[in-house]
Structure 1
Amino acid sequence: MNHHRADIYILNGFLGSGKSTMLRHLLQKEKEAGRNVAVLMNELGEKSIDSSVVPSDTTLKELLNGCICCTIKGQLSQQLDDLFNQHTLDAVYIEATGAAHPVEVIEACTHPFIADKLRIKAVTTLVDTKQWIEKKGSIKVKKLMKEQVKYADIVVLNKIDKVSRSEQETANQTIKEINPKAKVLLTTYAHIDLTILFSQKNHSSFLSQTENNTHAEKDLHLHSLTFPLPKQVSRLKFSQWIKEMEANVFRMKGFVRFTSGPEIFLFNYSYGGLTFEKYHQERDVSLVLVIIGEDLDEKKIKKGLQLL
């Protein structure tokens, strides 16, 4: 089954780091390439300020008054689902509020309803270099900025014209310590060579889905893997298997049927907590398991599932 999947680009970065400026460049390039794209924006306020950068002929959905990570994660999944039902899209750009955590954004993109309609191509985090160096902000803000860097595939050190050469080197060094795998780009006005972004990952739409997944995930820092769960499994064994998963799994969720009966359950696992709730079918769902984590061992997970 190899059907069309949209490329997802997540733009992360603390407030004022240059995300909207970068989005403007990206949309311009996509337009030149003739690709069909949509933008999802999420801001904390009542009114969106940034949406003015999105051309009027680009599909735009806005999630206001909440952060993707808490109040509107479900809404983000729903909005993506709506987008895919209404449009055939080559790419979707998600500009997350500066207060969003990348793991949460990725989680919203890998809801079991939509996991097979997209592939996450890159998580890009923009950093205001001066703010990074001066370490301004509360402990909470500094921690979030660090997390945004830690889980990025590409880190853009922006506004380097505001700092000295040696400060640029210091910033580059500290970013590399937090995330040695990321590509680090030094820029002003969020201008990067966009081919770096577009050449991330696979661009291998000719491969079968399973190959596609493994290719796509190779250089992604945060993996998301999707596995089918066609057979009924023992609830006890399934729960034990999830709890024994390695520590680098952040989230797991999906739809499953247990040997105890025909009902479908939606399960959620995060930070050691596991919940099951009966799914009352408003629509057909695929019985799948979605796992989000770092450096996941796909073969080992597959084997564990087969033994259930």
Structure 2
Amino acid sequence: MSGFLGSGKSTLLSHLIEYEKQQGRRIGILMNELGEVSIDSSFVPENTPVQEMLNGCICCSIQGELSSKLYQLLENYELDAIYIEATGAAHPMDVLDGCTHLSIIAGVKVKAIITVVDAKLWHNRSEMKPRLNKLIEEQAKYADVVVLNKIDTVVEDDFEQTSVSIREFNPGGLLLPVTNAAIDPLLVLSTKHNQSIFTEHTESHVDRHLHLRTFTQQLFRPLDRIVFEKWLKTLPGRVFRGKGFVQLNEAPGVFMFQYAYGEPMFTRCSLNKSYQPVIVLIGDELDHERIREQLLELQYIVH
């Protein structure tokens, strides 16, 4: 499963996991995140086998680990399916390469490459750096299924242009326009992978080519939500994705924090699990020291 940062991959994955569980199927999850800590794996239900690859991208710094993690899932569990959620900076063809390693090829059949596309981001992608623009286009181009997500964020004319544009890049894939990644799982699970897909692609190393950087900071005090949201709009550099676990002054407990394209969201976490408050930001031209200092100051603001 591919798609740029904040497109809605984890939301889609949670829908698919729920459906698979309802069907009584045994599934495993392989999850890759750019940050030093795992946030997205909190979506995964207990008793679901999970392998995590942190602090790197499948297609570059930890590519060799992908085959090893898949091998561990295959060896240790009897599974009907394995879902791979790649980081937003990964190219789907590089993920596919890892799934066809000689050590696991006999036990793996690639069902489909699913790419989640943020409708508004796609429509405005020309405003991004050329390398990022190219990655977003190729994530859609090499997919068997394109989930065109967040269509409620664009007007009708822009939606039509976006759909036509994606079709130009990927005329043969299944295109599913949705909101909140609410697809019909049967449409995805009945798709067959196109093995003849053209496999040459633009190299997209996270650091050398895309210039994406990850910032991670542990938190030790609750935040004022309003002040925190205002601060997010003034962040130095461009933040494509934010996530983490935070405590808020206004309510007890821990909240999952999600941030994409200027929109923050807070969801109360389960009381049955322990969460370490932490913030992860992914973007370019991030001033780490300045962000760290500002986050420290925010933790001492009480309204």
Question: 1:33 deviation in Å?
Answer: 0.6
Which residue is equivalent to 1:112? 102
Q: Which of 157, 169, 194 is the equivalent residue of 1:221?
A: 194
Matched residue SS, 1:155? strand
TM-score by length of 1: 0.63
Displaced runs of 4 or more, over 2 A: 220-224, 248-251
RMSD of aligned residue pairs (Cα, Å): 1.4
Shift of residue 78, structure 1, vs aligned partner: 0.4
How many angstroms apart in 1 are the aligned matches of 2:10 and 2:84? 11
Q: Secondary structure at the match of 1:120?
A: coil
CA distance in 2, matches of 1:176, 1:109: 26
Structure 2 counterpart SS, 1:188:
coil
Q: 2:46 is matched by which residue type in structure 1? A: S
The alignment status of 1:150 with 2:141, answered yes or no, reads: yes
Partners of 1:164 and 1:221 in 2: CA distance: 32
Deviations along 1:218-254, one digit per CA (max 9) or x if unpaired, are: xx33449xxxxxxxxxxxxxxxxxxxxxxx5659xxx
How far apart, in 1, do the equivalents of 2:143 and 2:199 lie?
Answer: 17
Q: Distance in 2 between matches of 1:155 and 1:250?
A: 19
1:183: Cα distance to partner?
0.9
- Give aligned pairs, total: 200
Q: State the one-letter code of the partner of 2:78.
A: T
- Of 39, 42, 46, the residue aligned with 1:56 is 46
- 8 Å Cα contact 2:2-2:114 kept in structure 1: yes
SS at match of 2:147: strand
Query: For the Cα contact (< 8 Å) 1:123–1:151, is it kept in 2?
Result: yes
How many angstroms apart in 1 are the aligned matches of 2:187 and 2:173? 12
2:185 match: 194
Matches within 5 A, 1:1-308: 11-135=1-125, 136-201=127-192, 220-223=193-196, 248=198, 250=200
Query: Is the CA contact (8 Å cut-off) linking 2:93 and 2:199 kept in structure 1?
Result: no
Contact 1:126 1:156 in 2 (8 A): yes
Gaps of 5+ in 1: 1-10, 202-219, 225-247, 252-308
Tell me, yes or no, if the aligned pair for 1:181 and 1:221 is still in contact at 8 Å: no
Identity %: 49
Q: Name the TM-score, length of structure 2 as normaliser.
A: 0.64
Contact in 2 for aligned 1:21/1:190 (Cα 8 Å): yes
User: Distance in 1 between the 2:97 and 2:62 partners?
Assistant: 12
Unaligned runs of 5+ in 2: 202-303
Which amino acid is 1:115 matched to?
I
| C-alpha separation in 1, matches of 2:164 and 2:170 | 10
